Chain A
């Protein structure tokens, strides 16, 4: 089971070896989950669409590791990894992708709308940028109620050109809310290179100054750097230092969605980025740091087992009853619009 690691008190916000091994495990969990989700899509079990973040796991793992259990995550339709690594049960997450009744949203959300409020995963949002103001509000409530929570909001490079991005960052800065905004710049807004449609080179970092924020540009494929960055921003927010805007460079190994083979990307670019896959690189780094290969192999085997079991559980899960159609629109559990 994925778990969020309670942060250490390391002064420089760096992970100790156990935490780094945990980071590795979380990245592998996200990778295996999504590879299986892809296979299940091809097999016809995952319905609708799905947007994979294979290649982007270091960001999700680092933040999930740096967050407190009561912190709140807001992510995008490319959000399997964030939802899983905050602690959503993999079997119920897969069941949601399958449209089963035991899915984390009872089959009403699907791949693009994943929420596990009990894990602090407050939704993956399928309208680009929409969740950014919502994260501001959650952080504002945390500030007013004195809960000490932070809200972490992940978004793609494409979101930096939509109005909600600007409105949210401005309000977050003016109100000094405890929020961390993380641009997962995977270089493409859907099918189009982000640089070809954006007035600045770094779509988020180059705009930070407009909101009175520091420009933070990090290697999103380096789990250590991401953890350090995440911990610093979260600590700052929790201490009352206001919001941060982080741009993490990364790459999705596949296309935008299931429908997209991603052929618009030059072969050498894809090859370069695949060579910078965050998971094998981190494995090498852990081995160099003295972690035994056997230990990593055991982690990999355990994750593989867990995720395959999750798939089997999801396959065996019942379909949602048609009576669910009319439930949970309103707080009274129903959907009546008239008496």
Chain B
């Protein structure tokens, strides 16, 4: 049986599933316990697992990540929440210099099984410091696995996989997706990191998307289908490890590739995707890879301005159609 649950509910369900299974899984963050999270993603966990395993922290992002790292070095599997992904900047030393590099610098002596969960992305009109898509920050640092699910089922499966993974994972939940619903089967769910999903198949072109851009890419593909153009939509789901096999196969089959990225233009994940496709599937391409991204600006707060800069369904359709003329 499958039931429809929200992306928001999926977060708590995933954490509960793993905390039930493994008593070394602990969860810390600001307002996560008694308040159930500012996005209500962790409601009920305190009541179920108690104040030792579900613990409120001070507003101390460096201490949150540092504590999670130290605990991971000494036998726990911590999940640490950074409330907004923008706040990763306040603890980037911990993530980029400490968490990411320690296994390598110690030549494998120190294992760091920890998950950093964070609410990423725009669409809720919070302005430039609470709306960024910063998955490329994490992607650029060797030693971090990077996950960004687009559906409730993927939230559960990839969260479970991340918690069970022996390496550090930065897990980007998209705050605009929290109220969205999707089918989730009963029972324990565990996915696999580094596997992209073919969300939709079509012979004419491939749209590569991530997180909140996936439903937009699908909507654009449906619109295009009504105009006689069939698109494949690839949901990357993970940026590290990157499922280049699925990506390259889809690109080679269709010959036309578009990325849809919420991040600002420069050095977004799509630039890496374009580079890989150019290097390894160039002779299968019918046209250059086209990136559809947010402008290279801090995000404005006003709804009409925010909507005008993030890739929309109509903009995706427009860009695709123009290249097909």
Contact = CB atoms under 8 A, between A and B. Distances in A.
A338 B66 contact: no
A101 B242 CA distance: 31
Interface in A312-339: 324, 327-331, 333, 335-339
Interface string A134-158: 1111111110110101010000000
A168 B58 contact: no
Contact of B194 (A140, A163, A174, A339): A339
Contacts of B244: 338-339
A106 B103 CA distance: 12
Contacts of B65: 133
Contacts of A164: 62-63, 66, 93
A329 B104 contact: yes
B258 interface: no
B242 A106 contact: no
B105 interface: yes
B71 A328 contact: no
A253 interface: no
Nearest to A117: B109
Interface stretch (A27-35, A54-62, A121-129, A180-188): A121-129
A204 interface: no
A140 B105 contact: no
A107 B108 CA distance: 12
Interface size class of A (residues with CB under 8 A): 35 or more
Contacts of A138: 70-71, 73-74
B58 A137 contact: no
Nearest to B195: A339
A125 B72 contact: no
A330 to B, nearest CB: 5
B48 interface: no
B142 A144 contact: no
Contacts of B74: 72, 137-138, 141-142, 145, 147, 149, 151
Contacts of B105: 105, 108-109, 113, 115
Contact of B110 (A115, A125, A133): A115
B58 A170 contact: yes
B103 A331 contact: yes
A127 B72 CA distance: 19
A167 interface: yes
A137 to B, nearest CB: 2
A310 interface: no
B301 interface: no
B204 interface: no
A159 to B, nearest CB: 12
Contacts of B60: 133, 167, 170-171
Given A136-B63, A137-B67, A106 B97 contact: no
Nearest to B244: A338
Residue of A137, A141, A164, A338 with most chain B CB atoms under a 10 A cut-off: A137
Contacts of A328: 103-104, 107-108
A117 B110 contact: yes
B86 interface: no
Interface string B67-89: 11111111110100000000000
12 contacts: A74-B70, A105-B105, A106-B107, A136-B63, A138-B73, A151-B70, A167-B62, A168-B66, A327-B108, A337-B240, A337-B241, A338-B276
Interface of B: 24, 26, 52, 55, 57-58, 60, 62-76, 78, 93-94, 97-98, 102-111, 142-143, 165-167, 194, 240-245, 276
